[in-house]
């Protein structure tokens, strides 16, 4: 276990809910460090932070940042789905590779679910890729109680389907 992994495992996670201007670059580095996303996808993750900074809650984007010893170790971004009564999207969840494998992702999902439930949400949707690279991601969602809903072939590009998971909140 690396010292960073030990730190994530033994130190408390501090959640915060408002992005700071410095989070633009923190999110860029964090999402890029996972090695799962293309440059244009990383830019979208940063754009959502910028939207929230510019428009506040009216942006429709809510955040949960997991800070460990003052550094962003992971984050989630979610929001209500327009024209629905109680459905939400989990747009992003990313954990710094140095902090993976110790429950930080599960903690971010659980905190996001709590906040969505408190806001009246009853269903959460997560979209991900059908590429083999994302097998572990899909397994993670399933272990967190999300159920496969639909797969749309060739959605993101050749050989890259969109896989949608859903979870009903009690």
Q: How many helices (H) and strands (E) does the chain have?
A: 5, 7
User: Over 70: is that where the pLDDT of 73 sits?
Assistant: yes
- Looking at the fold, whether 97 and 137 belong to one and the same domain comes out as no
Percent of the chain with pLDDT over 90: 89
135: domain range? 124-170
- Residue 9's domain is classified under what CATH number? 3.40.630.30
Residue with tokens 């700071």: 20
Query: Are residue 48 and residue 90 in the same domain, yes or no?
Result: yes
Alpha helices in 78-123 (DSSP H): 104-118
- Assess whether 113 and 128 both reside in one domain: no
**9-13, 35-39, 129-133, 142-146: segment of lowest average pLDDT:** 9-13
* Domain total in the chain: 2
- Asked if 141 and 100 sit in the same domain, the reply is no
25 and 103, same domain (yes or no)? yes
What's the pLDDT tens digit per position in 86-145? Answer: 999 999 999 999 999 989 999 999 999 999 999 999 999 999 999 999 999 999 999 999
What 8-state DSSP symbol labels residue 85?
Answer: S
Q: State whether 131 and 164 are in the same domain.
A: yes
Phi-psi label, residue 34: left if phi above 0, alpha if psi -120 to 50, beta otherwise: alpha
d(CA 58, CA 158): 35
Same domain, 20 and 78: yes
The mean pLDDT value for 40-47 works out to: 96
Query: Is 23 found in the same domain as 38?
Result: yes
What strands, in cross-sheet order, belong to the sheet with 14-16? 14-16, 62-68, 71-80, 87-95, 123-129, 160-168, 147-157
Do 64 and 80 have their domain in common? yes
Do 82 and 135 sit in the same domain of this protein?
no
Q: How far apart are CA 14 and CA 111, in angstroms?
A: 11
Q: Which two tokens stand for residue 155?
A: 């959605």
Angle between helices 39-55 and 23-33 (to 10 degrees): 150
């Amino acid at each position: 276990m690396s010292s960073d992994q030990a730190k994530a495992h033994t130190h408390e996670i501090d959640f915060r809910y408002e992005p700071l201007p410095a989070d633009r670059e923190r999110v860029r580095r964090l999402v890029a460090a996972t090695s799962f996303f293309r440059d244009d996808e990383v830019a979208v993750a940063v754009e959502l932070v910028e939207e929230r900074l510019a428009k506040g809650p009216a942006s429709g984007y809510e955040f949960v940042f997991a800070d460990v010893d003052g550094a962003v170790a992971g984050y989630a971004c979610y929001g209500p789905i327009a024209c629905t009564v109680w459905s939400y999207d989990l747009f992003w969840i990313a954990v710094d590779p140095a902090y993976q494998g110790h429950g930080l992702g599960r903690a971010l999902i659980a905190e996001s679910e709590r906040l969505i439930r408190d806001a009246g949400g009853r269903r959460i949707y997560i979209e991900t890729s059908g590429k083999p690279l994302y097998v572990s991601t899909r397994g993670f969602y399933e272990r967190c109680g999300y159920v496969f809903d639909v797969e749309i072939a060739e959605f993101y590009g050749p050989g890259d389907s969109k896989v949608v998971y859903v979870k009903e909140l009690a």
